[in-house]
Amino acid sequence: MTDFFFERFNINKHLSGLGFSSRASPAALLAKFKQTWETIIQESGAEHNWNRQIGHTSIPSYLQSILDIFVKEQAAANNSTETGLCTELFFNDDILDHLITLSQNDVPVGYRSEVIRFTSNLIGLIHHRFLFSHCIHKPISRLINACFTSRDLKYHESMLELEVNLCTKIESSPELLPLFFNIPKESNSASTFGLLDHVMKYVHSDKANGDRARTACPILFALASEGDDLEAFILKHDYPLMLVVGLSGLYAQLPTVMPDADRMLDIESSLAARRVFNTDLQSFLDYVLFLQKILYTCSSKKISQRILYNVQTIFLSTVLAASINSCSDFDGTTLTTLFYIQQLVTLIDEPHLSEIFVKLLISSEDDDDIIRSSDDEMRLGIRDILISKLNSLSEEVVTSTLLLFYTLMRDHPTYSFKLLFEKLPREQPVVDRMALDHDVDIQQHLQLVARYFALLPRDSGKQASLDAYIYDAEAGFSSLRARAQSDRIDLEDLFQSKPDPVSSNANEAFVLTSPVRVVSNGSTIAPQSKESFREQATRVRTDPTLYKIMTKFENLFSHSMKINVAMTGVLQQLVMSPYPVLYASVVDGDATLSDPETIAPSFYHVITKLMGEIDERRESLPGFDIKLAACKAKMLESEKSGNDSEWSKHEERLNGQRLSDATGRYFGDLDLDQEFLKNVVVLEEFIKELLAVIVTRGGMEYDHISYL
């Protein structure tokens, strides 16, 4: 720590400039300290400095010299709490208070900002116990209050830096909080907390000021406890509402159409617009992370409840829902909105925020346990809108929708599966175990593996081996377990929440319900009867959403390769579902098939049908196998070279070289035979991926699986 302060304040340079070496005696330091302070007083009152900038005077260098002397004293002290002669004089003579008084008129110009920076450095330098001295914390409080009430914005940047340093001290020593949070003894007087008031004033700002405010804010919110005065102060001033209003404002600033979708702009203008767009988007996403940090660190359940309630009713159910309802597939607005939602789905990981967000997107009227907003029709329409996008005429919209569903199931499995597939049982998902929770004969499982193994292409060429897919499947299941385990342990206390008893609005009694608990490793579950499991599997296969997805899979060769790559990602998540009954339904469900028009077929049924289409095309297309091998080699080479990066796609769009624009409309000739061959490669790779998940989920030990 001493080395840090020597480096920061350049002690040797400044002390030598004062006329003594770094090994000066305490008496010499004290003499120089007195001389420096007297010089500051003289310079502050000198008439020739009144119209000058503070940088053109010697005051800043003398203020820095005082800090250097403090560093020297700390370096010579036996411990960090020992007080040197200069430090005692600084305290006893209320020098900090005098400095603030001298600078209150900001003469010379910039004097107040210089004193604020000096105070900020002083807070970072001294031991936290010195802040308990009235000659330190009272001047700091006076400085904060004066800055908060001032309309002059030139002090606020340095003031926010001071407040970040002060919050860091309070975070390490929470007993400092009452020094700056004034709680009056009289019941008819209101509490005051200038530090939090000033920080909240800038949480919506951009650039450095906003970053500083968003650094200090979570620290202060984390100090609020259940039923204490700080919690009441935050709720009384509606600071949770203010936080969410800022989130809504940043989202409203984002364009409804991404810059690369506007073909009216030239290349230079598009790139400039893209840079502005990236900056605004990053500001919005950073604010989401800031809000999540508050939810993670705040120990007050009432504050967390109020934040979540406002997020649901103001941002999600009003702002975001309105943008979803008003977008169109053919002007780029749908694609842009799906992109924003995709970013949020990827970013949000706080369990309760995740729950209300996922429920807004894909909940239905049958989900009775969902906390609904005042506009139920809008909420219910969002799910229908998103599912309808699977049949959009825009390739990009369909692809983005599939990617959204894939990310929902991958990153939010606890809520997404049971909401997306309404026929799933409302029991807890089995995340910790890969095998089914009903008796499965090993021979039956081996037959299932052999059944899908027979579908593998005989010549894999240079494509990914089955071993690589098995490795990916194992990593995916491990990630699923780790996410569930982390959610259960880290936020267990927060989940045990009650409604807000002081809320004047019944709707504001937003209850933090516990996320679904997973089964711990090693625990036992009563086996489910085969008859009961079969009934559930049959019911699941009548799910309308599952039927739409499997029907889309049946028409794989009617889609572009881009759509099929996204679709197979969704199918892979179905097989990795924490619901064993869903896994059994899509992998081995043909025995329950009674009405193909209403019941979703299994993967095996669909794949065999698609293999038949491949055989038909092989007979009608000359040189099919040779062209397929060339297509595989070309796709592999393209993947290695990375020619299809997102930035290259963006540049091609700007130059008008791509077959489709950002709305997914084609404006050129498409080689249908080549697209068919690409889809064959996608199907073959998905079969490998599917088999790898089946092998891994069955818990089989394997040494090596080779192609026949």
Six-digit token pair at 445?
A: 């499982």
CA distance 133 to 123: 12
* Low-confidence residues of the chain: pLDDT under 70: 1-24, 78-82, 260-266, 365-380, 427-441, 458-465, 481-529, 589-598, 638-670, 699-708
Question: What is the torsional sign of CA 366, 371, 376, 382?
Answer: negative
Q: Is residue 476 part of a domain?
A: yes
CA distance 471 to 486: 22
pLDDT of residue 427: 62
Q: Is residue 325 part of a domain?
A: no
Task: Check: CB of residue 166 under 8 Å from CB of residue 128.
Answer: no
Q: Three-state DSSP class for 34? A: helix
Amino acid, single-letter form, for residue 334: T
Nearest to 4 by CA among 52, 71, 53: 71
User: Taking phi first (over 0 means left), then psi (-120 to 50 degrees means alpha), and beta for anything else, what does residue 357 get?
Assistant: alpha
CA angle 661, 663, 669 (to 5 degrees): 45
Q: What is the mean pLDDT of the chain?
A: 80
Q: Is residue 1 part of a domain?
A: yes
Six-digit token pair at 644?
A: 């299809």
Q: Is residue 239 part of a domain?
A: no
Q: Which of 152, 181, 210 is a domain's end point?
A: 181
Q: Is residue 614 part of a domain?
A: yes
DSSP string, 633-684: HHHHHHHHHTTT-HHHHHHHHHTT-SSB-TT--B-S---HHHHHHHHHHHHH
pLDDT tens digits along 330-362: 888 999 999 999 999 999 999 999 999 999 999
| Strand partners of residue 109 | 53
The pTM for the full model equals 0.81
Number of domains in the chain: 2
pLDDT tens digits along 489-519: 333 333 333 344 444 443 444 455 444 433 4
Amino acid, single-letter form, for residue 619: E
CA distance 335 to 329: 7
Task: Give the per-residue SS3 of 341-366.
Answer: HHHHHHHCCCHHHHHHHHHHHHCCCC
Amino acid, single-letter form, for residue 212: R
Nearest to 348 by CA among 306, 438, 424, 408: 408
Q: Which of 128, 160, 181 is a domain's end point?
A: 181
Six-digit token pair at 315?
A: 């941002």
pLDDT tens digits along 425-437: 876 555 434 343 4
Q: Is residue 163 part of a domain?
A: yes
Q: What percent of the chain has pLDDT over 70?
A: 74
Cα Dmax for the chain? 101
pLDDT tens digits along 591-612: 444 455 568 888 999 999 999 9
Domain that holds residue 694: 438-488+529-653+671-704
CA distance 316 to 336: 16
CA-only gyration radius of the chain, Å: 32
Task: Check: CB of residue 5 under 8 Å from CB of residue 74.
Answer: yes
Task: Check: CB of residue 180 under 8 Å from CB of residue 195.
Answer: yes
pLDDT of residue 639: 62
CA distance 501 to 496: 15
Any long-range contacts for 630-637 (C-beta under 8 Å, 24+ apart)?
631/674, 631/677, 631/678, 631/680, 631/681, 632/461, 632/462, 632/463, 632/681, 633/461, 633/462, 635/678, 635/681, 636/461, 636/462, 636/463
Q: Is residue 87 part of a domain?
A: yes
pLDDT tens digits along 158-173: 999 999 999 999 999 9
pLDDT of residue 168: 95
Is omega for the bond preceding 255 within 30 degrees of 0, making it cis? no
CA distance 147 to 112: 10
Q: Is residue 508 part of a domain?
A: no
Q: Which of 181, 202, 219 is a domain's end point?
A: 181
> CB neighbours of 300 closer than 8 A, spacing ≥ 6?
221, 224, 225, 226, 228, 231, 234
CA distance 490 to 54: 50
Six-digit token pair at 458?
A: 């005989």
Angle between helices 134-149 and 111-125 (to 10 degrees): 140
